[in-house]
Chains A and B, each alone.
Chain A
Amino acid sequence: MSITRDEVAHLARLSRLALRDEELDHLAPQLDQIISAVAQVQEVAAEGIPPTTHATGLANVYRDDEPAPCLTPEQALSGAPAVELQRFKVPRILVEE
C-alpha cells in the first residue's frame, strides 16, 4: 500500500477539501492505486539529468514599469459573494499568518 486512508484524509485537509467519509472511502483506494502507478518514474535512471520546468528555453521576459489601466472597483468586486465598504467580505480568519 502506497498511501493510507489517514494520509489521504491529511492530504484533503492540506488541500482545503472537506471530504465526507463516504468520499474518503471511495477516493482513498483510487489515490493509492494512482500513486503506485505514477511511482513508476522512480524506475528511470536519471543520475545527473537536469529537470525540465520550462520547455521553451525562454529567459528574461519582462515588461516595462509603465502603468496600465486598472479594473474599476465594481469590476473587481463583480463576482464577490459578499462585499462591504468596497472590500471583499470574508468569514473570520482563525489562524494569523
Chain B
Amino acid sequence: MTVTTTVTYESALQRYEPVFGLETHVELGTRTKMFCGCITTFGAEPNTQTCPVCLGLPGSLPVANRVAIEYTIKIGLALNCSIASWCRFARKNYFYPDMPKNFQISQYDEPLCTDGYLDVLVGGKTVRVGIERVHLEEDTGKSLHVGGATGRIQGAEYSLVDYNRAGIPLVEIVTKPVPGTGYLAPEVAKAYVTELRDVLRTLGVSDVRMEEGSLRCDVNTSLSVRGSGAWGTRTETKNVNSLRSVERAVRSEIERQAGVLDAGGRVIQETRHFHEDSGVTTSGRSKEEAQDYRYFPEPDLVPVAPSSDWVEALRVSLPELPSARRARLVESWSLSELEFEALRNAGALEVVEQTVACGASPADARKWWLGELARRANDSGLEVSELPITPAQVARVAALVESGALNDRLARQVIDGVLEGEGTPDEVVAARGLAVVSDDSALLAAIDDAIAANPDVADKVRTGKTAAAGVLVGAVMKATGGKAAAARVKDLILERLS
C-alpha cells in the first residue's frame, strides 16, 4: 500500500516536470477485415460476421487487405513519417479468450511507418509531438463478463465472446515521449488527440469516434524531478474514452505520482484504469513482470514492400491536411490562433468553411456555428456537423439578416424551425411569418402607441435625452413580437419626437 500525500496540481508542477506519451489505436474504415473478406459493419448480431480466418479455425490462413495497407501509409505520410521499403508482420503470442488464435498478427521491430511528427496548437503556441511509429494489426473479439457486480472481469462467473470485431484492421500510433510542456501537459495531450483525430477524419481512413471505440487512447505519464535530468518511471493509463478524459487522466496521474514521490515512495511501473466518474486512476495489471510475447515474423504472410511509386502516388493523393488548412483559413479569414482553436475545438471547421463557400462572411459563419448552433448541438449531445441544418441554409439565414429581412432574434427562430424539420429557411419564414416588419406605417402605429403609453419617457427624448428612446424601442419590439428592425424603429421614434 503506497503512502501518498495529497498534492495540488500547481505545487506538483513546481517540483516535477511531467512527460507524457500516447498510444492510439484507430479502427480503419475499410469495408472488410484486415485478413479476410468479412464485412465490418458495426452493431451486428453476435458471431454473424465471422469466417474460418477471423475465427482462427485450424487450417485457416490470413491474406492482407490492400486498402488497409494504403490507409496506414497515408496516415504515416500525414504524420511526416518515413515509410518502410520492406517490412513484415509479426506474431504477438499470448493466451486470451477474445483472441481466437491466441496470437495477434501485428508488427514488432519492423513497423510500416516511423519517425514522424504532428504539430499541435495550444494556447497559441505550436508544440511538436514526435511520432515513434505507426503500424498495422488486427483487433480482437469482444467479451461480455457475466455475474460480477460491475460487468467487468473482476468477480465475473463466466464470459461470453463475440468475434464479429476480431480481425478488424487496427492502426497503432505511438508518440515519442513529450517533455517540456510543463503545466500545459494535459492540454497538449488533449490537443494532440484532437489534432490526430482531425487528421484521420480528413484522410477519410476512419470515423474516429471515441465513444464507439474506433479511436482508443492509452496515456503514458511520468514525472521527472525538476533539474535532475533523469526520467521518471512511467505508468500506462487505459480506458480513456474521450478527449476530456485524456486531459483529466494526465492531470490525475501527475497529481497522484507527485503525491507518491513527495511521500518518499516510488512510482510503480504498471497499467492503471481511468474512471470517468471520479476522474482518477486505479491500479490494474503490474508491469514489473513484463509479458514475453515471443514475437517472431509471421510465416503465413509475406513481406510488405511498398514501391516508391506506390508511396508517391499515395502522397500526391493526400487531401489538404488540417495544419495546411489552418494556415490557409487563418490567413484568409484573418483569425488569431486562439480564434482558430475555438473553431477547431468545437468541431466546426468544416461547416464554417462550407458556409463561407455558400456566400456568408467568415465572421457571420463563425458567429452562428460557434454560438447558437454549438449551443443546440451541445444540448442534443451531437456534433455541430450532425445537426439537421446545412451550411447552405445557415448561409441563407445570414444573408437574410444581412439584407435586413431578419434580425438576430428572428433569425434564431428561423434556425429553430429548420432544426425542427419545418423546411428551408425561406419556408420557415413564410410559414411562421417571421419577416422583419419593414413597413413604416405599421411601425408608426406601434410607435404612437408606445409614445402614448410612456409620456414622460417621450418628454425626455424631446428634450434631447435620446438614450431614453431605448425604452420606447423595447415597447415597440414587444408589441411587434420582435419583428421590427430595432434600428429603424429608433430612427422613426427620434424623428417623431424631434
A-B interaction: yes
A54 in contact with B302 given A71-B50, A90-B97 (CB within 8 Å): yes
- Residues in A with CB closer than 8 Å to B98 are 97
- Residues in B with CB closer than 8 Å to A76 are 47, 50, 55, 163
B96 part of interface (Cβ distance < 8 Å)? yes
Q: Would you mind naming 27 contact pairs between A and B with Cβ atoms under 8 Å apart? A: A14-B292, A16-B95, A54-B303, A59-B304, A61-B301, A62-B66, A63-B64, A65-B31, A65-B66, A66-B32, A67-B31, A67-B38, A69-B37, A72-B48, A73-B48, A76-B47, A76-B55, A85-B46, A86-B45, A87-B161, A90-B143, A91-B158, A92-B156, A92-B157, A92-B159, A93-B159, A96-B285
CA distance A97 to B163 in the complex (A): 17
A58 part of interface (Cβ distance < 8 Å)? yes
CA distance A71 to B37 in the complex (A): 11
Q: List A41-86 residues whose CB lies under 8 Å from chain B.
A: 53-54, 56, 58-73, 76-77, 84-86
- Residues in B with CB closer than 8 Å to A90 are 97, 143, 158-161
A65 in contact with B30 given A70-B48, A70-B50, A71-B52 (CB within 8 Å): yes
* Closest residue of B by beta carbon distance from A61: B302
A70 in contact with B49 given A56-B302, A58-B302, A65-B66 (CB within 8 Å): yes
Task: Give the number of residues in A that approach B within 8 Å (Cβ atoms).
Answer: 36
CA distance A46 to B160 in the complex (A): 49
Q: Report whether A62 and B156 are in contact in the complex, using a CB–CB cutoff of 8 Å.
A: no
A13 to B: closest C-beta gap in Å? 11
Which 5 A-B pairs give the minimum distances between C-beta atoms?
A: A68-B37, A62-B66, A87-B160, A65-B67, A58-B302
Where the two chains meet, the residues of A that have a C-beta atom closer than 8 Å to any C-beta of B are 14, 16, 53-54, 56, 58-73, 76-77, 84-93, 95-97
A53 in contact with B51 given A16-B95, A62-B65, A90-B159 (CB within 8 Å): no
Q: List B78-128 residues whose CB lies under 8 Å from chain A.
A: 86, 88, 94-98
A87 in contact with B55 given A62-B66, A93-B153 (CB within 8 Å): no
Where the two chains meet, the residues of B that have a C-beta atom closer than 8 Å to any C-beta of A are 30-32, 36-39, 45-52, 55, 63-69, 86, 88, 94-98, 143-145, 147, 152-154, 156-163, 284-285, 292, 296-297, 299, 301-306
Q: Report whether A68 and B144 are in contact in the complex, using a CB–CB cutoff of 8 Å.
A: no
Q: Report whether B302 and A59 are in contact in the complex, using a CB–CB cutoff of 8 Å.
A: yes
A59 in contact with B303 given A67-B38, A68-B38, A70-B50 (CB within 8 Å): yes
* Closest residue of A by beta carbon distance from B57: A79
A67 in contact with B69 given A89-B160, A93-B159 (CB within 8 Å): no
* Closest residue of A by beta carbon distance from B271: A96
Out of A14, A59, A66, name the residue touching B37 (CB < 8 Å): A66
Q: Report whether A92 and B158 are in contact in the complex, using a CB–CB cutoff of 8 Å.
A: yes
CA distance A88 to B143 in the complex (A): 9
Q: Report whether B55 and A71 are in contact in the complex, using a CB–CB cutoff of 8 Å.
A: yes
A88 in contact with B65 given A54-B303, A76-B55, A96-B285 (CB within 8 Å): no
- Residues in B with CB closer than 8 Å to A77 are 47
Out of B64, B154, B158, B292, name the residue touching A61 (CB < 8 Å): B64
CA distance A93 to B96 in the complex (A): 8
Q: Report whether A62 and B64 are in contact in the complex, using a CB–CB cutoff of 8 Å.
A: yes
Q: Report whether A60 and B47 are in contact in the complex, using a CB–CB cutoff of 8 Å.
A: no
A7 to B: closest C-beta gap in Å? 14
- Residues in B with CB closer than 8 Å to A64 are 66-67
CA distance A75 to B296 in the complex (A): 32
- Residues in A with CB closer than 8 Å to B86 are 59
